[in-house]
Chain A
Amino acid sequence: MLKIDHLKKGYEGNEILKGISLDVNKGDVISIIGPSGSGKTTLLRNITTLERADGGHIQFAGVDKDFQKLSSQDIQTIRRNVGFVFQNYNLFNNKTALQNITEGLIVARKVKKSEAEKIALKALERVGLSDRQNHYPSQLSGGQQQRVGIARAVALNPQVIFFDEPTSALDPELVGEVLKVMRDLAESGTTMVVVTHQMNFARHVSNKVIFMADGYIVEQGSPEEVFAHPSETRTKEFLTDILANV
């Protein structure tokens, strides 16, 4: 459904992504793990066209082109078929929880307002926040904001939702409520690509795990393969470190 080939990206001659290839199939829940600075955020931002890759190819939603040759029409097509959940939520500060969700439906998808509100309420219900629909982001806890962020992505019914460390900015006691929502989504068949340090999620919810370091995919496979029988030394070291620190 989404196929990335040899994606490359650098900043000022510094190569950050050194040729990443990635296949996402419908219903996949892919966890991307790896040390900080390894290029995980950069990867998601380049796939979703928040940044323009220096090289590589994308096949997605009818677009089949080198990143550098994407027209603005192609970019719009890609954006309309992905969802993105940000590390620091990025809810629209001047909109209520409900409006955060209806905005994209009404403005980008041209859905009627009443219809959009119905969809948004359903999405809020799904993340357990029906009673917060009229609250502004500043009136919500971090965990609630992130759940609205997830509802905002889900409501647009994109082909795949990207999550960039969705629980990293949260106080520990709020992590659980967000992970639960993500687990529910995964179980209902939502296609997800999740950058995370939550090893439990990676191991028990995803069907595929990718370990990244220094701009490369070092190892990938089923959670069982990567966690129980990692073949690369770097993977073993990383897992030993992170599991020791939990």
Chain B
Amino acid sequence: MENVRLIINFLGQLLPAINITLVVSVSSIILGSLLGLGLAAAKKSESAILRVISAVYVSVIRATPSIIMIFVVYYGMPLLFSGWFHVNIEGWNRMYFVIIALTLLFSAPVSEIMRSAYESVSKGQMEAGLMVGMTPFQTFYRILLPQAFVVALPNFANSVINLLKEGALTFTIGVVDMVAKAQMIVANNSGGYAWQTYCALALIYWVISLAIDKGVTLVEKSYQAKRKTIAA
């Protein structure tokens, strides 16, 4: 009972830092999805060079552990910027480095998910769109994209949950997210109540991923329900 009370207490102390985690995650998801879309488009493009670049990028990124990516970006980018553009970015908010690292990491699996979802929609859908006079873009946007979206959704949600977990490494370059906060709490208690603190942290991650799963199920259900009620 005492433990439960402690865990609840730690939850209260950790939760304020959730902002950082959410900002980092949401930014990386949005930017990573856009980059992933670009990569998927490159992979399907007519240009052999673009296809190769996209394939190599995806295979390298997929093999890179997140902690290494975060360090490479954090230590490497300032050197790159000062070397190439003579711009000093060492003073940047460290959160930006994490967002960039996670964006790069997220873009690779997402591009694969988008590509395979796109390929799952038959070529005939595009041709039918063209034959009723719509442009390729109109057909893509109104016919192909909605169908690919439903196919991609479950895998996309999985990748989001992975990203969330990889984001737990944010503390390694000194950003005060929930993980860093937990470490501080443990340190303040001279190493005491460590497992209760981290349990509280794990609980938070669990609830977030539950919420993501629930959200996906709701979206899927609404798609199915729409079909049922209309046809009934």
A interface residues with partner B (beta carbon < 8 Å): 48, 50, 76, 79-80, 82-84, 86, 88, 90-96, 103-104, 107-109, 134-136, 138-139, 152-153, 156
Contacts and interface: CB of A to CB of B under 8 A. Distances in A.
25 contacts: A50-B127, A79-B130, A79-B133, A80-B133, A84-B131, A86-B124, A90-B122, A90-B124, A90-B128, A93-B147, A94-B143, A94-B146, A96-B231, A103-B134, A103-B142, A107-B142, A108-B132, A108-B133, A108-B135, A134-B230, A135-B231, A136-B230, A136-B231, A138-B227, A153-B132
User: Interface majority SS on B: helix, strand, loop or mixed?
Assistant: helix
B231 A104 contact: no
B78 interface: no
Contacts of B227: 136, 138-139
B131 A88 contact: no
A90 B125 contact: yes
Contacts of B133: 76, 79-80, 104, 108-109, 156
Interface residues of B, number: 20
B138 A108 contact: yes
Contacts of B132: 103-104, 108, 152-153, 156
B134 A107 contact: yes
Given A76-B135, A90-B124, A134-B231, A50 B146 contact: no
B132 to A, nearest CB: 3
Given A88-B124, A103-B142, A108-B133, 16 more contacts: A50-B130, A76-B135, A79-B130, A79-B133, A84-B127, A86-B127, A90-B124, A90-B125, A94-B147, A96-B231, A103-B132, A104-B133, A107-B138, A108-B135, A108-B138, A134-B231
Return the 7 tightest CB-CB contacts between A and B, nearest first: A104-B132, A108-B133, A90-B124, A84-B131, A90-B128, A80-B133, A134-B230
A91 B130 contact: no
B129 interface: yes
A228 B135 CA distance: 45
B230 A96 contact: yes
Given A107-B138, A139-B231, A92 B131 contact: no
Contacts of A153: 131-132
Interface string B219-232: 00000000100110
Contact of A83 (B131, B146, B147, B231): B131
Interface in B151-181: none
A43 to B, nearest CB: 15
A103 B143 CA distance: 10
Contact of B129 (A76, A80, A92, A135): A92
Nearest to A140: B231
A135 to B, nearest CB: 5
A90 B127 CA distance: 8
Contacts of A136: 227, 230-231
Nearest to A155: B132
B67 to A, nearest CB: 41
A153 B128 CA distance: 10
Contact of A82 (B128, B131, B135, B142): B131
B223 to A, nearest CB: 9
Contacts of A90: 122, 124-125, 127-128
B131 to A, nearest CB: 4
A139 B146 CA distance: 18
